[in-house]
Structure 1
Amino acid sequence: MPELRCEAVRWVDDEPFPGIVEVRFIDATGHCWSLIDKCAIFAQLGELTPASTYPVEVTVACVVQGVGVGAVGDEIVTVSTSPDSVATLDGQNTFTVRRSQLLQ
């Protein structure tokens, strides 16, 4: 399953266990998106803690929904972060990103 590269930028809260973090990424149009969810969703090895030095590179599982070509000829991919039910605070879970932002 592909993963979208993000940066954990801050520890939000200790509850619910194991804790909540905010991660951000910039989409293909330059818009910065913020996702807030359990730290285990973004970092499976326990590398995110309240004492971590942020930002920390992390990923979020995604599903490719479409592929296209951007204005400068780079490959653009529409992805959904639905595998782990991750979304923005307003419920957005579909984003257009550059292919280089994905780990396969």
Structure 2
Amino acid sequence: MTHDHWHCRCNITRWVDDHFPGVVECRLSDRFGREWIFVEKVAVVTTAPIDPDGAFPQPAFIACEVISWGHDESGRRTARINTEKPWDIKSLDEVSEFQVYAEQLIHPRGIEDSNSG
């Protein structure tokens, strides 16, 4: 079992609240095509200067832990992730575990620094 800090790509789709430092809506698509909605502080999902009048969507990342690696029916590499670690992030549906494609993930030490499997 892999317990390592990663970032999953998502998109900021709109500004939600001006409460400092700003709150945005993010959308993450899982490997099955389902779109999950998160509402989070700007600074938690991006270091880019996002503001209410900016253009959307904007790229962002949700920190996560990779629970396991696998492959789908066509051999494409997948990952089961948990967004509760490290920053206790959950979707609006209170879901924190997702199956995504490996290419949606970025490792803080670099994209090539992943487990082979």
TM-score (normalised: structure 2)? 0.83
Unaligned runs of 5+ in 2: 108-117
Q: Separation in 2 of the partners of 1:85 and 1:69?
A: 27
Tell me whether 1:53 sits opposite 2:55 in the alignment.
Answer: yes
CA distance in 1 between counterparts of 2:22 and 2:87 reads 16
Count of matched residue pairs: 102
Given candidates 2, 6, 12, the residue that maps to 1:2 is 6
Shift of 1:7: 0.5
Structure 1 residues 5-28: Cα deviation after superposition (integer angstroms, max 9, x where no partner): 01000001112x111100112101
How much has 1:44 moved relative to structure 2? 2.5
2:17 equivalent in structure 1: 13
| Partner in structure 1 of residue 103 of structure 2 | 100
Q: Is the radius of gyration larger for structure 1 or structure 2?
A: 2
Moved over 6 A (4+): none
1:65 is aligned to 2:67: yes
SS for the counterpart of 1:77 is strand
* Deviations 1:23-60 (CA, angstroms, capped at 9, x unpaired): 11210111111111111100124x22112110000111
Q: Which residue of 2 aligns with 1:84?
A: 87
Q: Give distance in 2, aligned partners of 1:27 and 1:68.
A: 14
1:40 to 22, 33, 43: 43
AA paired with 1:52?
Answer: G
